[in-house]
Amino acid sequence: MATESDATPRRVSAPDVALRKRVRVADLALLGSVPAVLGLVFSLPAATRRSLAFDYASPTAPTAVVSAFVHFDPVHLATNVVLYGLLAATALALGVASGRRRRFYTVFLTFVLAFPGVLSYLNLAIPRSATTFGFSGVAMAFAGYLPLALADYLETRFGIGPATQLAPALFLSTLGLVSVLSVRSAFDLVGGRAALLALAAALGALRYALVVAEGAALRARCRTLLGTPGAAELTAVAVALVFAVPFVAFPASPGQGASVLNLYSHLLGYALGFLVPFVTVTTRRFVGES
């Protein structure tokens, strides 16, 4: 994936131009394209939508791609739109603020155009008689990308990093949380307590990673962040989403009426959403420095 100035990270002076003034109409149109397509598909007759769902027993390439945009329940649709909107808008804001708008565009197109088919066919690794549909797996890819977008923002704007260390620390911290949440339904109340303990451990591990990476300079850089208009708010929103989304995507009771949340697809989307951009960025930087 192409990136913008990945080989030589730069630090943007603060205070910078107000973020709202740097967001373009094209950015908003790009973000709005997904809800528009999801709404258009939802307006199709139910029989047509059923024919577009991905059937594990008789998979086809067209349904592998299109099924991600299919929803039958307005609540399911609204949930995925809100989740996508929060994650994609935050990732875009971080990308614009850190000078990585081109990277976000590339990530967006990769997730929306390539990931639906990839996630569908990876689901065939678990043999079962069922159909899958919905945008949540792709939305979780944006959740997976958020640690890298946040780490890039902190490094380029405030020198907190490097992003190649902070991003994996964020991702691995939340991955441990996800692993607990994925199985907590089997432990009922104990699982809920384990999830809270996992969250505390994840935050502690992240704090330790920051202290080790930054040392005494971290406090001064954090003060700069807190003193920059809008920076603390954007960082707080991103951190909150990074650690809150797993609780939404991996609920204790995945069953919803006649349907069951595809936690496997959520996990795949989350992991690939981080790994694909991160490996691409680090490889590009390594090649650029060689």
Q: So what's the pLDDT on residue 104?
A: 96
User: What would the mean pLDDT of 90-119 be, rounded to a whole number?
Assistant: 96
pLDDT grade for 5, boundaries at 50, 70 and 90: very low
pTM of the model: 0.84
> Which segments of 159-188 does DSSP mark as H helices, in order?
163-183
C-alpha angle 95-98-100 in degrees, rounded to nearest 5: 50
| CA 200 vs CA 48, 176, 180, 218, 250: distances in Å | 46, 11, 12, 21, 17
Sign of the C-alpha dihedral computed for residues 62, 248, 202 and 180 taken in this order: negative
Average pLDDT for 138-149: 96
How much of the chain exceeds pLDDT 90, in percent?
A: 52
Q: Predicted confidence band at 215 (pLDDT cuts at 50, 70, 90)?
A: low
Q: How confident is the model at residue 16 (pLDDT cuts 50, 70, 90)?
A: very low
Distance CA(238)–CA(24), nearest Å, equals 21
Residue 228 burial (CB count, 10 A): 17
* Bridge partners of residue 260, in order along the sequence: 255
What average pLDDT does this structure show over 212-223? Answer: 64
pLDDT exceeds 70 at position 195 = no
